[in-house]
Amino acid sequence: MQTRLQEMKESALGQISQVTDSTQLQDLRVKYLGKKGELTELLRGMGSLSPEERPLVGQLVNEVREALEAAFTQKQSALDEAVLHAKLASQTIDVTLPGRPVPTGTMHPLSRIIEEIEDIFIGLGFEIAEGPEVEMDHFNFEMLNLPKNHPARDMQDSFYVTDEILLRTHTSPVQARTMLKKQGDTPVKIICPGKVYRRDDDDATHSHQFTQIEGLVVDKGIGMSDLKGTLLTFAKQMFGPTQQVRLRPSFFPFTEPSAEVDLQCFNCGGDGCRVCKQTGWIEILGSGMVHPRVLEMAGYDPQEVSGFAFGMGVERIAMLKYGVEDIRHFYTNDVRFLRQFNRA
Amino acid sequence: MKVSYQWLSEYVDLSGITPHELAEKLTRSGIEVDAVESRNAGVSNVVIGYVKERSKHPDADRLNVCIVDVGQEQDLQIVCGAPNVAQGQKVVVALVGAHLPGDLKIKRSKLRGVESQGMICSAKELGLNDKLLAKDQQEGIMVLPEDAEIGMDAVSYLGMDDYVLELGLTPNRSDCLSMLGVAHEVAAIYGKEVMFPAIEIEENGEANPVQVRIDAKEECHQYHGRHFTDAKIASSPQWMKNRLMAAGMRPINNVVDVTNYVLLEYGQPLHAFDASQVADRSIVVRLAHEGEEIVTLDDQNRKLDAQTLLITDPQKGLAIAGVMGGANSEINDDTKEIILEAAWFTPQTVRSTSRKLGMRTEGCVRWEKGVDPLRVKEAGERAAALIQQLSGAKVSRGVATNVVQEGEAAVVSITLEKINQHLGTSLNASEVSPIFDRLQFPYQVEGSKWTVTVPTRRGDITLPEDLVEEVARLYGYDKIPTSLPTGVTTQGQLTADQQLRRTIRRHLIGAGLHEAISYALVSPERVEDVAGLHEGQTNPVALLMPMSEEHSVLRTSLLPSLLSTVAYNKNRQNHDVSIFELGRVFLQRENVLKELPEERVYVGGAMTGQWMPQNWMGAKQPVDFYQLKGVVESLLHALGIQHVTYKAASDLAGMHPGRTAEVWAEENRLGFLGQVHPGTEKAYDLTETYVFQLDLAKLGEAASDVGHYNQLPKFPAVTRDLALVVNRDVSAGMLQATIREAAGELLESLTLFDVYTGERIAQDKKSMAFSLVFRHPERTLQDEEIQQVTTAVIEALKTATGAELRM
């Protein structure tokens, strides 16, 4: 009996190892372990054994059963895995083919710059103020210390609609309007982005319509050092932490003292290159301390409060930052141009 | 203003300061130097020569053979082609080895067999700007005055070893429109003295016969007349020509040149009259009679109005004050007797006259910005001395002077506290006083308060803040510290409107559209062609003086901008275009604008060509109405705008009557979308193009935030599909509205999943299949309930639209 068990085990294991598919394996299982299988048949023969032999043989039968069960399970997994392998192999695709296109748009480069600047100043506690693009002469010029016949009006030839109404030539009237609305409240901390218009023939560097961002701070005890510090903070955030600012005396009718602000050339980092005409500096902003007459006209007492203002051309920054050679690209919207500003 | 470095060094010591260093210093302290240019365009090894002999070339009619003394042991033989070369001339000789502009190198050579040991030069060959050359030096070789020294370096003789600093002056610094003004600035920067020119006049004539009367006392505040006899009009000496040319002025004759020279030196415009043409030697300064005429120096007949200030004699006009002299009293070669005018006219009068007449001379520029009233007479005397020196004239005794009022120096006070507060500095008094000293501003100081008497040359300084700027720029902007504003903390944030614009921008970019920004000024015909969103009549805001028809009115709709952009792209072979713009339109309700026009922000988009880029899966997807509508729907969805309906609109200008819908949110008309009318497409030269335009303020009103979430359902939903056959004119919108109405609250969602026309149904019919999902929030629905609702829906559809279930 024991010998037969041993022989059966050997032969069964041998057959299992030869099996190549699940059906054969199932058949073998029935043959050996099924209700009418060989092992069951052998068990039936146990009755003829002596009481001493029975436990020994019983134990042996169980061992054989377990060994076979294990072999069947193992073989089944091996077969399953082979099938899966074959299936996966048959599903192979060319992963280098391009994906299904998802059309994505782009933000206009001027919007990118404006939003970036807005966000920096929002972080510094500024609000964003806006005003009409068609403006009264009064707000565009007179409130900014540019009375009629002022020679500085030559600096910006304008598009008039009537004798008193024109397309604004700068975003500064928004400053005047905001201060008037605040009725003497402090602090005033605003930036004013927007479109402006001047009588210029359109060419690579001139546009009759362009974009400005101006800033204004009015409060007690504001000094020119605050202007310098604010612009330095802005420059570092916008153009990198090693940025420097340089102020040069200048003139604007609505500020006194006035300053042109140069930033380190962001093309060469200050070493001197074609972009900065070998100076290492690029003129980016006009700025100054708000002229006392401007404060007065807007309802603030220049003895009590002071302020600074600054303004920059968005196109100029975009042209420098992205190397755009022709300002007209911003307004003709060639999609081959727009598509390049595609970083989220 | 062009400043000759050599000339400037006569008024202020520039030793040890190079032109470029000077330029940098000036720029950093407020006078921007745009360029520093050498007057030498590449000339070397040229000397002054004397033509001893001139003979015809034996073999060439047009050439001359000259023997020229250049101060060397041996005279040079030079072949010269210029017809004006003559014996006895002083000329400029480029020696063998000389360089001339344009990389020209002079070599010993043979011309038609005759040796030439150099070249006699024309002014042009020396790189001098021929527009600035005196008439007698424009043609042929340059002939120098007799006193030119033989053998002298011609570069230095012609002032070509000089540098010119070109100043880009801001309008407030008109004081630097003069050499002395610049000298003051340089002296302040370097802490040096200004050296004024010596004025020496020998009054060797008769008594001055000139009478001056000022009738226009508002416009003319002073007038000084010098009188000369026995003047000899000739060309100016080379040193004066050099300086005038360096400043960009053309030398004319010794008298006119002096007036220009002093204009540059003092910033004081002067005028010289031929006194023999001035009746009674009597000057009357008055306003012109309306319609009075005068022929100016440029031979133009000018018709004047009653605001024009005129210099006259008792019979006629002699000059338009401050603008231009008259032809009748012009200095000419035969002039012997001269009246020299040094006067002060108000900036406004010169400015308005020069504008009206469209004449802007160097003098006008200075008048407009304001001339120093305290230096008028001095400048006149300086010119008188020079005229005497250069023309040999006799100066009559005395100056005919009439002064209505003299200028007054402004007195401005400033405290140390104010300076430090305004600059954020911590200067002390001993640092501030020296700055006023350097500026040569007289002051009195009491404690830490300065009372400064501002010289009239600096008319720009009237307020304490102006003095703060003077202190700041001479102290150095670089030394001002940096700080951030202290004080109340403020919260920076976007307004709801600004946030809305950003949300829309981001959404449309995510939806595959490129953001465009266009010109707001468009052509009037484009505005009339297309619909806007405004209600009622509006006129486009029109410019008084447009630069072109194409940009002459402000847009009332975004469509002209969008369609022009699509057309621009199409012309560049960009056929697939999907763009949007967020921008303002301008609505003028009145016929004549008195108030500001209404400005509204719209968002508009345009789509044409293929929606999907070409790809290997082959599926092309041309843009159609529903592609565009999908973009708009997704935008409205993202803004939380509910109860949106689309109403067919057949009468919007520029839009296809059968393929356009107005977008409504309840009673709120948000805008429209659809296909551009084929006629308009043709006008812009477009292919099939779809557009939308929505009013931002209305989107803002209809928008909503995410509210309370809906609890996830606990009970199952039941789905019923209905395939309906209807007449072709029945719209999906009608069916959906009817279904919703009839199904009531149990209907959770309704989806149209198929639209069919074709062989399998009647020709005048179409089939639309809807999926209806029903759910009760608190229990499982029974079959009977669903059946009841479905039956009611079918009945309602039948009644309202004649729909039949498709079998």
* DSSP at B207: B
Optimal mutation site among A107, A182, A191, A256, interface B, most CBs of chain B within 10 A: A256
pLDDT score recorded for residue B478: 92
Decide which of A28, A55, A90 is a domain's last residue.
A90
Give the global pTM: 0.85
What are the chain B neighbours of A97 within 8 Å (beta carbons)? Answer: 616
Give yes or no for a contact between B198 and B386, defined as CB atoms under 8 angstroms apart.
no
Side chain identity at B645, as an amino acid letter?
A: T
Closest CB to B579 among A118, A331, A333: A333
Q: What would the DSSP string read from start to end of A65-108?
A: HHHHHHHHHHHHHHHHHHHHHHHHHHT---TTSPPPP-------
User: Measured between alpha carbons, how far is A104 from B354 in angstroms, rounded to an integer?
Assistant: 57
Q: For chain A, give the number of residues.
A: 344
Closest CA to A103 of B701, B611, B695: B611
Q: Rounding to the nearest 10 degrees, give the CA dihedral for residues B69, B70, B73, B78.
A: -60
User: Measured between alpha carbons, how far is A175 from A214 in angstroms, rounded to an integer?
Assistant: 8
Q: How many CB pairs under 8 A join A and B?
A: 257
Residues A161 and A267 in one domain: yes
pLDDT score recorded for residue A154: 58
Taking an 8 Å cut-off on Cβ atoms, the answer to whether B483 and A256 are in contact is: no
What are A304-328's pLDDT values in tens digits?
Answer: 999 999 999 999 999 988 989 999 9
Closest CA to B577 of A106, A284, A208: A106
Pairing mode, if any, of strands B282-287 and B211-214? parallel
Taking an 8 Å cut-off on Cβ atoms, the answer to whether B514 and A161 are in contact is: no
Taking an 8 Å cut-off on Cβ atoms, the answer to whether B170 and A250 are in contact is: yes
Give yes or no for a contact between B300 and B285, defined as CB atoms under 8 angstroms apart.
no
Residues of chain B with pLDDT under 50: none
| DSSP 3-state percent helix, strand, coil across chain B (nearest 5) | 30, 30, 40
Closest CB to A333 among B489, B565, B597: B565
Q: How much is the mean pLDDT over chain A?
A: 90
Token pair of B3 as six digits: 């400043």
Distance of CA B733 to the CA centre of its chain: 55
pLDDT score recorded for residue B22: 96
User: In chain A, positions 141-160, which contact chain B (CB-CB < 8 Å)?
Assistant: 149, 151-152, 154-155, 159-160
Residues A86 and A226 in one domain: no
Would you tell me the crossing angle of helices B429-439 and B464-475 to the nearest 10 degrees? 100
Residues A115 and A231 in one domain: yes
Q: Which residue has the tokens 């076979």?
A: A68
Closest-approach residue (CA) in chain B for A302: B465
| CATH fold match for the domains B2-39+163-190 and B44-157 | no
Optimal mutation site among A104, A134, A296, interface B, most CBs of chain B within 10 A: A134
What are B684-704's pLDDT values in tens digits?
Answer: 999 999 999 999 999 999 999
Question: Chain B within 8 Å of A258 (Cβ-Cβ)?
Answer: yes
pLDDT score recorded for residue B487: 84
What are A234-278's pLDDT values in tens digits?
Answer: 999 998 899 989 999 999 999 999 999 999 887 788 888 888 888
Q: What is the largest CA-CA distance in chain B?
A: 132
Closest CA to A318 of A177, A161, A117: A117
* pLDDT for residue A46 is more than 60: yes
Closest CA to B743 of B770, B718, B714, B772: B772
What are the chain B neighbours of A100 within 8 Å (beta carbons)? Answer: 615, 617
Taking an 8 Å cut-off on Cβ atoms, the answer to whether B596 and A134 are in contact is: yes
Alpha-carbon gap: B251 to the closest alpha carbon of chain A (Å):
29
3-state secondary structure string across A38-59: HHHHHHHHHHHCCCCHHHHHHH
Side chain identity at A329, as an amino acid letter?
A: H
* DSSP at B497: H
Decide which of A37, A62, A90 is a domain's last residue.
A90
Q: Please name every residue paired with A265 in a beta bridge, in sequence order, or none if there are none.
A: none
User: Measured between alpha carbons, how far is B12 from B8 in angstroms, rounded to an integer?
Assistant: 7
Closest CA to A311 of A244, A237, A250, A220: A250
Question: Chain B within 8 Å of A201 (Cβ-Cβ)?
Answer: yes
Tally of domains in chain A: 2
Q: Please name every residue paired with A197 in a beta bridge, in sequence order, or none if there are none.
A: A209
Token pair of A64 as six digits: 């054989």
Taking an 8 Å cut-off on Cβ atoms, the answer to whether A105 and B515 are in contact is: yes
Residues A165 and A71 in one domain: no
Annotated binding site of B: 460, 466, 469-470
Specify the 3-state DSSP secondary structure of B228: strand
Optimal mutation site among B482, B550, B611, interface A, most CBs of chain A within 10 A: B482
- Can you say whether residue B156 is alpha, beta or left, with left for phi > 0 and alpha for psi between -120 and 50 degrees? alpha
Taking an 8 Å cut-off on Cβ atoms, the answer to whether A98 and B616 are in contact is: yes
Query: Can you tell me the ipTM of this complex?
Result: 0.88
Taking an 8 Å cut-off on Cβ atoms, the answer to whether B422 and A249 are in contact is: no
Gyration radius of chain A's alpha carbons: 43
Closest-approach residue (CA) in chain A for B583: A195
Closest-approach residue (CA) in chain A for B422: A223
Q: What is the CATH number of the domain that holds A177?
A: 3.30.930.10
Domain-located, residue A104: no
Closest-approach residue (CA) in chain B for A232: B482
With cut-offs at 50, 70 and 90, classify the pLDDT of residue A152.
low
Residues A71 and A132 in one domain: no
Q: What would the DSSP string read from start to end of B96-140?
A: EEEEETTTEE---EEETTEEE-EEEPBTGGGT--GGGS-GGGTSS
Tell which wins on pLDDT, A65 or B318.
B318
User: Measured between alpha carbons, how far is B348 from A101 in angstroms, rounded to an integer?
Assistant: 67
What are A175-227's pLDDT values in tens digits?
Answer: 999 999 999 898 999 999 999 999 989 999 999 999 999 999 999 999 999 99
Q: Domain B410-475 belongs to what topology?
A: Phenylalanyl-tRNA Synthetase; Chain B, domain 1 (3.30.56)
Q: What would the DSSP string read from start to end of A232-283?
A: HHHHHHHH-TT--EEEEEEEETTEEEEEEEEEE-TTTTTS--TTTTTSSEEE
- b (16+ CB within 10 A) / e for A125-157: bbbbbbbbbbbbbebbbbbbbbeeeebbbeebe
Taking an 8 Å cut-off on Cβ atoms, the answer to whether B580 and A105 are in contact is: yes
Question: Chain B within 8 Å of A331 (Cβ-Cβ)?
Answer: yes
Taking an 8 Å cut-off on Cβ atoms, the answer to whether A334 and B569 are in contact is: yes
Closest-approach residue (CA) in chain A for B32: A250
Give yes or no for a contact between B43 and A261, defined as CB atoms under 8 angstroms apart.
no
Other Cβ atoms within 10 Å of B162 Cβ, number: 23
Residues A113 and A51 in one domain: no
What sections of B511-608 are H helices per DSSP? Answer: 524-529, 559-570
Taking an 8 Å cut-off on Cβ atoms, the answer to whether B465 and A257 are in contact is: yes
What are the chain A neighbours of B517 within 8 Å (beta carbons)? Answer: 108, 110-111, 330-331, 333
Q: In what order do the strands lie in the sheet with B410-415?
A: B410-415, B449-454, B443-446
DSSP tally for chain A: helices H, then strands E? 12, 9
Residues A180 and A279 in one domain: yes
**Structural domain span for residue A21:** 2-90
Token pair of B675 as six digits: 């296909």
Decide which of A58, A90, A122 is a domain's last residue.
A90
Domain-located, residue A103: no
Taking an 8 Å cut-off on Cβ atoms, the answer to whether B596 and A136 are in contact is: yes
Domain spanning B2-39+163-190 has what CATH number? 3.30.56.10
Taking an 8 Å cut-off on Cβ atoms, the answer to whether B611 and A103 are in contact is: yes
Please say whether the structural domain B211-403 has been given the CATH code 3.50.50.60: no
Residues A14 and A117 in one domain: no
Annotated binding site of B for Mg(2+): 460, 466, 469-470
Alpha-carbon gap: A119 to the closest alpha carbon of chain B (Å):
9
Non-local CB neighbours of B426 within 8 Å, separated by 6+ positions: B420
pLDDT score recorded for residue A147: 85
Taking an 8 Å cut-off on Cβ atoms, the answer to whether A292 and B580 are in contact is: no
Residues A116 and A81 in one domain: no
Closest CB to A189 among B490, B508, B597: B490
Domain spanning B496-702 has what CATH number? 3.30.930.10
Closest CA to A43 of A22, A72, A14, A65: A65
pLDDT score recorded for residue A156: 55
Closest-approach residue (CA) in chain B for A260: B30
Give yes or no for a contact between B329 and B261, defined as CB atoms under 8 angstroms apart.
no
Please say whether the structural domain B718-805 has been given the CATH code 3.30.70.380: yes
Taking an 8 Å cut-off on Cβ atoms, the answer to whether B546 and A159 are in contact is: yes
Alpha-carbon gap: A98 to the closest alpha carbon of chain B (Å):
8
Q: Which residue has the tokens 């006035």?
A: A258
Q: Rounding to the nearest 10 degrees, give the CA dihedral for residues A12, A18, A23, A25.
A: 30
Q: Domain B44-157 belongs to what topology?
A: OB fold (Dihydrolipoamide Acetyltransferase, E2P) (2.40.50)
Other Cβ atoms within 10 Å of A256 Cβ, number: 26
Taking an 8 Å cut-off on Cβ atoms, the answer to whether A333 and B498 are in contact is: no
Q: Please name every residue paired with B608 in a beta bridge, in sequence order, or none if there are none.
A: B577, B689
Parse chain B into domains and list their residue ranges. 2-39+163-190, 44-157, 211-403, 410-475, 496-702, 718-805
Task: Write the burial class of residue B212 (CB in 10 Å: 0-12 exposed, 13-18 middle, 19+ buried).
Answer: buried
Specify the 3-state DSSP secondary structure of B635: helix
What are the chain B neighbours of A249 within 8 Å (beta carbons)? Answer: 28-30, 469, 472-473, 477
What are the chain A neighbours of B424 within 8 Å (beta carbons)? Answer: 223-226, 228
Alpha-carbon gap: B151 to the closest alpha carbon of chain A (Å):
40
Q: Please name every residue paired with B114 in a beta bridge, in sequence order, or none if there are none.
A: B111
User: Measured between alpha carbons, how far is B309 from B322 in angstroms, rounded to an integer?
Assistant: 8
Alpha-carbon gap: A89 to the closest alpha carbon of chain B (Å):
23
Q: For chain B, give the number of residues.
A: 807
Residues A78 and A143 in one domain: no
Residues A254 and A320 in one domain: yes
Q: What would the DSSP string read from start to end of B725-772?
A: EEETT--HHHHHHHHHHHHGGGEEEEEEEEEE-STTS-TTEEEEEEEE
Q: Which residue has the tokens 């609000």?
A: A127
Non-local CB neighbours of A323 within 8 Å, separated by 6+ positions: none
Taking an 8 Å cut-off on Cβ atoms, the answer to whether B348 and A101 are in contact is: no
pLDDT score recorded for residue A151: 63
Domain-located, residue A178: yes
Non-local CB neighbours of B389 within 8 Å, separated by 6+ positions: none
Task: Write the burial class of residue A40 (CB in 10 Å: 0-12 exposed, 13-18 middle, 19+ buried).
Answer: middle
What are the chain B neighbours of A257 within 8 Å (beta carbons)? Answer: 422-423, 465, 468-469, 472-473
- Can you say whether residue B560 is alpha, beta or left, with left for phi > 0 and alpha for psi between -120 and 50 degrees? alpha
Token pair of A253 as six digits: 């009718």
Domain-located, residue A97: no
Token pair of B239 as six digits: 């040193």
